[in-house]
Amino acid sequence: MIQVFFAATQYAAATVTAALRAGLFGPRAAHRRVLVVSNVAAVPEVTTPWDRMPGSERLLTEFDAVHSWNACIAPHHPAGWSPRAQDAPLWERALRLAWDLGDAPVEIACESIQASPSRAVAEIFADSPLHVYADGLMSYGPTRNRIPQDMHSRIVRVLHLDLVPGLRPMLLSEYGVAAEAVPTGAVVDVLARIGQDGARTLADVLAAPGRPTAVLLGQYLSAIDLITGEEEAELHARMVRAAARAGHDSVLFKPHPSAPAGYGAPLEAAAAALGVRLTVLHEPVLAETVFAHLKPRLVIGCFSTALLTAAALYGIPVARVGTDLLLDRVTPYENSNRVPLTLIDAALPDAEHDAVGTPLDLDSLAQRVAPLLSAVGYCMQSRKHRGLRDEVAAWLGAHLAEHARYFKKRRLTSLGLPGGSPVRAAALRRNPVVRRVVRRIRAARP
């Protein structure tokens, strides 16, 4: 059996490497393992592929061969290309030849099956079993796009990080796909190995006395049109003010790798006004490497997955800033960012108003957030999760008042759930769509 693993980021590769080392893909001796690296940056030609980043060589040893997906499909962009249906067999033949797969059976491990490049890979290797692995909080939400029957029937499982112990992923559950957690110990070990080079970089950057005691996480939310660039810059400044409020006078800001350099000006102004020593980390170092090396007393962010990796993998206190703004802005309601945003807002203290600095109680977290996430997930994709309706309606009837910010009245109305507006008969009679349907029914009567 040949196993082909697709990874678009170093963090994704770390996740799948941890799964390999934990034995979740069987013994090494029984398989030939091929890694396919993709670069889905907007302009891949001017960015460094993750397999050339510091520490990546410690991941590549798990594989017998490494290939570039970008090179295989050039000049197409990995995020926007998939083969025409009639060309898929030709592409499989070409890739088998290019990657020396021969005629051996192949199984695929890939990231989000809802979009390319994973969707394209699943279409090309149309007879291969699929393992979907998810390294972020979106795994706790519903599947965004419909998966064809001939594809979802081949999905063996969803591998995920156990960032909220006991919370079951909703991703692909409507198709009966089982979820399996990658052991946390294996994940921490892999991150520690690839972080050795990054730790040396951090030691140079933070060589001066007075090392930062708080870490601030940037996400570059304006790139996905959730907020404007000016609002995101102000969001980062709010993080600095929140850290100062919590008693920290030295902070490290880790920007998103794609964020423009200009975002640092408001941040520096806010730090200077408060007398806070600010370090901006421009080096390509994983947030988890920062957590392990710096051992901060607090991590502040908006709704980054790294907030929960800090809490679950390293036991660091975490807090949120700006989730109220994002809950109001994220559209449409089906937007996949809604579940990570809801989870972080419900689970973490507000750094601008609440007491912070205490480690998150992970033991009770799943019990607290599971009903809420089920309700939000059902409202996002009600047709895919019809079996949840009665449970969600009962929960909303009892708890909507304290969780109203996570639901839109219009959505509750359209689904006929508690909290929606009653539909009046007079309004229905005036609705032009209803009137047309009634006229057609009457016209069809004998």
Q: What is the mean pLDDT of residues 419-428?
A: 72
Q: What is the mean pLDDT of residues 243-248?
A: 96
Are 172 and 237 members of one domain?
Answer: no
DSSP 396-438: HHHHGGGGGGGS-HHHHHHHT-TTSPPPPHHHHHH-HHHHHHH
Ranges 38-42, 125-129, 288-292: which has the least confidence: 38-42
Rounded to whole angstroms, the Cα distance separating 211 from 227 reads 32
The proportion of the chain whose per-residue pLDDT surpasses 90, expressed as a percent, equals 76
- The domain in which residue 308 lies consists of 206-372
pLDDT at 424: 61
* H helices present in 3-83, as ranges: 10-21, 57-60, 69-73
Band (pLDDT 50/70/90 cuts) for residue 265 is confident
AA letter at 396: L
AA letter at 257: P
Q: How does the average pLDDT of the chain come out, rounded?
A: 92
pTM of the prediction? 0.91
φ, ψ of residue 214 to 5 degrees: the values are -135, 145
Structural domain total, the chain: 2
Are 139 and 270 members of one domain?
Answer: no
Q: What is the mean pLDDT of residues 94-119?
A: 94
Domain boundary among 372, 404, 431: 372
Ranges 181-190, 200-209, 241-250, 319-328: which has the least confidence: 200-209
Are 177 and 210 members of one domain?
Answer: no
3-state secondary structure of 4: strand
pLDDT at 135: 80
pLDDT tens digits, one per residue of 1-31? 899 999 999 999 999 999 999 999 999 999 9
Q: What is the mean pLDDT of residues 40-66?
A: 88
Q: What is the mean pLDDT of residues 178-198?
A: 93
Are 245 and 178 members of one domain?
Answer: no
Q: What is the DSSP letter of 333?
A: T
Specify if 188 maps to a domain.
no
pLDDT at 381 exceeding the cut of 90:
yes
Q: What is the mean pLDDT of residues 339-350?
A: 98
Rounded to whole angstroms, the Cα distance separating 287 from 275 reads 25
Domain boundary among 134, 167, 182: 182
Q: What is the mean pLDDT of residues 396-423?
A: 93
pLDDT at 55 exceeding the cut of 80:
yes
The gap from C-alpha 71 to its chain's centroid, in whole angstroms, comes to 26
